[in-house]
Structure 1
Amino acid sequence: MKNILHRLRRGAPTADSSEAAIDTGEDGGIKRDIPVVWLLGRTGAGKSSLIRALTGMEDIEIGSGYMSCTRTSRRLDFPAEQPLVRFLDTRGLGEAGYDPTEDLAVCEGHSHAIIIVARLDDPVQGEIADALGSVLRRRPKIEVLLVHTGADLVPDAAARGRAQAATAQRFERAAGRKLPEIVISLPPDRPPPEEELDILIDALAETLPNAGLALREESVTDAESRAFRAVRKTVLKYSGAAAASDTIVLVGFLSSTGIQFAMFKKLGEHYGVPATPVLARRFISLLGLGVGGRIAGSIALRQGGKFIPIYGQTVGAAAAGAFTFGATYALGRTASRYLYTLSLGETPTREDMQATFRDALKRSRSHDR
């Protein structure tokens, strides 16, 4: 038992990666559950432009910066050196002589969410709708976001509204359900309007919270939030590792706890505050029984759900991973504030810690599936 706990504290979970991108990190060999977003659309719909807008990587071009998944589909990890989100970019459907069967099968099996990219001035979307319907018959629970691009290409508001409604109706018939949708301009010579980009990231956060959080910039309001920016990627990385570990029955609860303590120690190194088990207990005590009890109760329910045959291996495991990602991020954000305050020789307050945790948990989990 001691050996098992020792391995868990080192943070080396294993998880079923059949529907996830699991990468090995540099800190003690931890494995991270990288959210995978699949972009599906016709040639010229704006898939690469959408990735450029989301990541700020202006030099992205087809065939440059991408790694091949198959002969014709590509993936892009962002950031490349320590990925927090992965994009799968399928070759545009509808091209002459292109058989998308292999690409669709590969992308379908490795994606957490789908972004349908459809230009408002292109009414021919039948092949994309058919592909979506085929995927959803096999994976009915996968999240889908419909992004209407080319808002700047249809200047008349009435015509733009009609085009959006017709496209949305086509895809909703194929999906058999109402789809969340947003409209964005993707001009070739400049970034999209900031308000449109914010709406896109908010919608992505609703569809796939892990990816939305990774792509959203943290606001800087004071010296503490500026200091947190330097460790935010570390917190996201450990959150992904904890989520990956939580797809396994029972072991997930133990290993995610070990990963959270490993994150606390890593943050302590950054802030110059030795993060001992005693200090960790003091930190948790400031969060209070109310916060701790809700986390423990929610994790217990999700872990218990994984024992239910069939349901437990799909919905229960996914719920556990999604919740643990958000809870671990909130703990990391709050621990960063706690350790920063100690590094200044000041005393953290219960009210400040609880408010920080609640705010971080709300931002990390737009909704809890």
Structure 2
Amino acid sequence: MIRNPFYRYLRRPVPDTGAEEADAEARQAEFDIPIVWLLGRTGAGKSSLIRVLTGLSEIEVGSGYEPCTKTSSKFDFPPDAPLVRFLDTRGLGEAGYDPSEDLAACEGHSHAIIVVARLDDPVQGEVADALGDVLRRRRRMEVLLVHTGADLIADEGARDRARHSSARRFRDAAGREISEVVIGLPRGGAPREDELEALKDALIATLPNAGIVLHEEAAKDAESRAFLEVRRTILIHAGIAGGSDALPVAGLFSSTGVQFRMLKALGDHYGVPVTMTLARNFVSLLGIGIGGRFVGSVALRQGSKLIPVYGQTVGAVAASAFTFAATYALGRTAARYLYTLSVGETPSRGDLQATFRDALKGVGQHDR
């Protein structure tokens, strides 16, 4: 009979996390921050894009950049304990600017690229060439094309023609289909709500690790409001678990340990001590159906990492993305489970299974 991997793990004694291990996990969290490279010409709206994604003011964004190379900078969000990092080069096309050093530095540390192109600026050759150069070396790099300036072209037909022309240029440069969204970024104002939601949904599909950080979840009831207080803890553990999944087979046990420590941290927050008995009960409520599919997916991804060359690239990327999504879904479900216990109620198997499926679906679009 197929069993959830937690059943085996939960029978083993788990030592308390000491200061040394906590420091190691903090360093791992820093290493595993999803990094999004903003690629575009001067004035394309890269800083404005960060502003609307993070909800920060223009002043906060403007003062939040830190040097990365001589002509590039980084922006961490949130600044005190970052969960996502934006890398920004100087605008391509500036007179006297040679982007080769910045492109090399950003390429080596980025998890995804957001190409920012204004619809009223048809001169995108240098940006398209830079994108093509990077993708020839890193074919699996995820790309999202954001057309800005939707509010600057009043005529809908002209706006559509500009979008199709720009999309074709970047699609040809990439040598594949790429996701795209259109958004207006009025100076000092807010974009349309539907455009902002489309942008965040596209970011989740392109890079779930960053997208879920930037996606604000509605607090519909007391449980949802309580969850927002622990969401950051879950995201940090999901990032660590995903990053630990880089080694064949061993990654499974490493990520499972991180997931169990996440459960203990959530229990501390809700005032419900997570014992082995409680943890086994939680996993049992998820059911064999979910557990069996989870095990099958894990086995497929762990096995793929053993394949020479393929396993060191594609297989590892797939395993990391899946582990991030699964850990986040597990944490979201555990938060509901522990909250229900904390208010003296009995958790429902159906409610927990639905919560897990919804959470996994929300961040698992990338898992393909």
> TM-score, length-normalised on structure 1?
0.92
Q: Take 1:279 and 1:59, find their aligned partners in 2: how far apart are those partners? A: 47
Q: Take 2:135 and 2:232, find their aligned partners in 1: how far apart are those partners? A: 32
Partner of 2:86: helix, strand, or coil?
strand
Quote the residue 1:73 is aligned against: 72
Partner of 1:336: helix, strand, or coil?
helix
Q: Say if 2:205 and 2:363, in contact at 8 Å, map to a contact too.
A: no
Quote the residue 1:31 is aligned against: 28
The one-letter code sitting in structure 2 at the alignment partner of 1:97 is G
Describe the shift of the 1:8–1:292 C-alpha distance in structure 2 as closer, same or farther (beyond 3 A).
Answer: farther
Q: Say if 2:73 and 2:87, in contact at 8 Å, map to a contact too.
A: yes
The one-letter code sitting in structure 2 at the alignment partner of 1:31 is Q
Describe the shift of the 1:163–1:61 C-alpha distance in structure 2 as closer, same or farther (beyond 3 A).
Answer: farther
Q: Say if 1:148 and 1:164, in contact at 8 Å, map to a contact too.
A: yes
> TM-score, length-normalised on structure 2?
0.92
Q: Take 2:133 and 2:366, find their aligned partners in 1: how far apart are those partners? A: 26
Q: Is the counterpart of residue 280 in structure 1 residue 279 in structure 2?
A: yes
- Percentage of pairs with the same residue: 66
Q: Take 1:355 and 1:7, find their aligned partners in 2: how far apart are those partners? A: 29
Q: Take 1:131 and 1:97, find their aligned partners in 2: how far apart are those partners? A: 16
Q: State the Cα distance separating 1:59 from its structure 2 match.
A: 3.5
The one-letter code sitting in structure 2 at the alignment partner of 1:124 is V
Q: Take 1:251 and 1:6, find their aligned partners in 2: how far apart are those partners? A: 18
Describe the shift of the 1:8–1:320 C-alpha distance in structure 2 as closer, same or farther (beyond 3 A).
Answer: farther
Q: Is the counterpart of residue 152 in structure 1 residue 151 in structure 2?
A: yes
Q: State the Cα distance separating 1:29 from its structure 2 match.
A: 3.9
Quote the residue 2:331 is aligned against: 332
Which ranges in structure 1 are unaligned for 5 or more consecutive residues?
14-23
Following superposition of structure 1 onto structure 2, how do residues 133-212 of structure 1 map, counting pairs within 5 Å? 133-212=132-211
Describe the shift of the 1:156–1:300 C-alpha distance in structure 2 as closer, same or farther (beyond 3 A).
Answer: same
Quote the residue 1:19 is aligned against: none
Quote the residue 1:250 is aligned against: 249
1:64-101 C-alpha deviation (Å, 9 max, x unpaired): 21111101111111111121111111110000111111
Q: State the Cα distance separating 1:104 from its structure 2 match.
A: 0.2
> 177-186 vs 236-245, which deviates more?
177-186
Q: Take 1:328 and 1:82, find their aligned partners in 2: how far apart are those partners? A: 20
Q: State the Cα distance separating 1:177 from its structure 2 match.
A: 1.3
1:234-275 C-alpha deviation (Å, 9 max, x unpaired): 000000010000011222101100000000000000000001
The one-letter code sitting in structure 1 at the alignment partner of 2:264 is K
Q: Take 2:133 and 2:19, find their aligned partners in 1: how far apart are those partners? A: 36
Q: Say if 1:205 and 1:212, in contact at 8 Å, map to a contact too.
A: yes
Quote the residue 1:18 is aligned against: none
Quote the residue 2:99 is aligned against: 100
The one-letter code sitting in structure 2 at the alignment partner of 1:137 is R
1:320-349 C-alpha deviation (Å, 9 max, x unpaired): 100000110011000000000111111111
Quote the residue 2:5 is aligned against: none
Q: Take 1:177 and 1:28, find their aligned partners in 2: how far apart are those partners? A: 37
Partner of 2:56: helix, strand, or coil?
coil
Q: Take 1:35 and 1:183, find their aligned partners in 2: how far apart are those partners? A: 23
Q: Is the counterpart of residue 131 in structure 1 residue 134 in structure 2?
A: no
Q: State the Cα distance separating 1:62 from its structure 2 match.
A: 7.2
1:8-47 C-alpha deviation (Å, 9 max, x unpaired): 974999xxxxxxxxxx976964622211111100000000
Q: Take 2:19 and 2:146, find their aligned partners in 1: how far apart are those partners? A: 37
Q: Say if 2:47 and 2:62, in contact at 8 Å, map to a contact too.
A: no
Quote the residue 2:84 is aligned against: 85
Q: State the Cα distance separating 1:193 from its structure 2 match.
A: 1.1
Partner of 1:260: helix, strand, or coil?
helix
Describe the shift of the 1:6–1:109 C-alpha distance in structure 2 as closer, same or farther (beyond 3 A).
Answer: farther
Q: Say if 1:36 and 1:88, in contact at 8 Å, map to a contact too.
A: yes
Partner of 2:151: helix, strand, or coil?
helix
Which ranges in structure 2 are unaligned for 5 or more consecutive residues?
1-11
Partner of 1:266: helix, strand, or coil?
helix
Partner of 2:362: helix, strand, or coil?
helix
Partner of 1:151: helix, strand, or coil?
coil
Quote the residue 1:269 is aligned against: 268
Q: State the Cα distance separating 1:183 from its structure 2 match.
A: 0.7
Q: Take 1:342 and 1:46, find their aligned partners in 2: how far apart are those partners? A: 47
